[in-house]
Amino acid sequence: MAKKTLQLGRPAAIPTSPAEAVLDRVPNRHADTNYLARFTFPEFTVMCPVTGQPDFATLVIDYVPRSWLVESKSLKLYLNSFRNHGAFHEECTVAIGKKLVAFVKPRWLRIGAYFHPRGGMPIDVFWQAGRLPAGVWAPDQGIRTYQARA
């Protein structure tokens, strides 16, 4: 079997849909150590499947890896593939979490999706898989819930 070439270090177009996106992974050189890795993606966009209007969010993905790490360029391309994809907030958040869990099989993963209000109401979605290992520091995700101007 030929060795797969990572997207890292070469030009790669944004996939036109999440189904077309390819995630890459690399070996975790510290698989014997419990630690938390965090990805914060402040420019997530998905299309409302009813109105076709864009919905914007900040995604925060925390995970405690086992044998594999998700490669960040491929993750950025995957997350950007939602830009022209129609999905509800809950659907895309849970799908992203499940795809990452299936792909890198972490000890623990949580995703927080903090959507900006549209129509006067923000929708935040939270999902996790597994249990946080004892002794691992998982700081607050640091995203304030929406507050109207005073």
Report pLDDT digits (tens) over 27-78.
999 999 999 999 999 999 999 999 999 999 999 999 999 999 999 999 999 9
- What CA–CA distance (Å, rounded) separates 89 from 86? 10
pLDDT in tens, 90-112: 999 999 999 999 999 999 999 99
Predicted pLDDT of residue 26: 97
Backbone angles phi, psi at 108, to 5 degrees: -160, 145
Rounded to two decimals, the pTM is 0.93
- pLDDT score of 3 more than 60: no
CB 123 within 8 A of CB 92: no
Predicted pLDDT of residue 150: 59
What number does CATH give the domain 35-129? 3.30.1130.10
Active site (catalytic) residues? 48, 55
- pLDDT score of 1 more than 50: no
Residue with tokens 């006067």: 120
- pLDDT score of 124 more than 80: yes
Question: Cα 111 to the chain's mean position, in Å?
Answer: 6
